[in-house]
Chain A
Amino acid sequence: MISNTTIIQSVLSGLLEGGNYALYSLGLAFVFGIMQIINMAHGEFLVLGGYIAYWLLVKWGVNPLMALPVAALLAGGTSFLSYRIFIERIRTTVELNTLVLTFGIGIFLSNLYLQLWSADIRNISVNWMEDPVHLGGIYISLGEIVTFVISFAAVLFLHLFLRRTKTGKAIRITAIDRDAAALSGINVERVDLLAFSIGGALAGLGGPLLGMLSFVSPNTGLHITVKAFILTVLAGVGSIPGLIVAGMILGVGEALTVTFVSSSYRELFGFTLFLVILLARPSGLFGKRG
């Protein structure tokens, strides 16, 4: 018999994990919402961030939280280069092209990681992560709380950046009407480049967190891309805050699947949910009905 405490415990862990899912998906959702490009290399940018934090910790003992800006910067830089060298040239052709192109970039990166760092899984382990925090009879690890706060802050930050700053507004206008934006003096090519690079940097930010909570490996990337897409669809394309709620639904669903069924079927929950959403409400939970 599964006790109530166990259920509450797994729901709470699921909620916290869900916040992280929102960050893992943020870059992909943002780029898709703004540029209508699905970045198939999204997961590889994220994994890159994870590897960077891992090596900084192993080689120089750098606290993974300090590694966050480095991870974001390098993943953002990789993303910037990918856009300048390849994507820019076919930005205006059919959607299928960017999809296959970014997929190719992803294959390149994941095999590069495999060549450089082997297929071994890398966990970023820090002692304080496991410190328990007691809430009544329930226990959560400090790591779960810290990563959740970081994820939540990142989503909030992006949301405010898009709503409040001039650059953010320029990005949003370009997404709504490219031609009108260009006419009103916005350099839309620059906006594209910026948006894609921000997408990469946000992915890079998620990498160290993923490495701390579980692990990164060359195979992790594609898996993250799929999960990010599922969450983007669940939240509704273009809804950044919706990602948090969608992430939590997925997180809790997975946690309860582990508690009631088996940990082997954890991933099945998200995909089933995805198919149901596609059939029942393709515009997502918070998207505009089209």
Chain B
Amino acid sequence: MSRKFWALKKSPWVFHVSAASCNNCDIEILDALTPKFDLERFGIRKVGTPRHADALLVTGVINRKNISRVLRVYEQAAKPCIIIAVGTCACNTNMFEPSYNVVGPFDKHLPVSVYIPGCPPKPEAIIMGVVKALGSL
């Protein structure tokens, strides 16, 4: 395994991107960082800027207004950067697909590596998904 990926695997930094979501997945991601579930014991750190991120945790659906922001965040993220879609909305737009404002699931616009379905996925599921994503590196 290349040195870069080995370093990534040791302590990946994640940046949380919320597109148009109901925020349940966002709260469950924050819950995964609290002591009860503690994502940090896997070395995972949440950072405040996409430039330092190894992985993007994305939630919600992309709509006509937030698409430019989401794409810009991905552009700004340091590469390689894996995208982890958290929640059914990020995986396949859930029930919002027929809406005039929704522009398709995340993987239509960005390369998603890992899908964690659920509405919302429990913190345990989020941890399992992130750990599996790291294991696949």
| A interacts with B | no
User: A residues near B, CB below 8 A?
Assistant: none
Q: Which B residues form the contact surface with A (CB < 8 A)? A: none
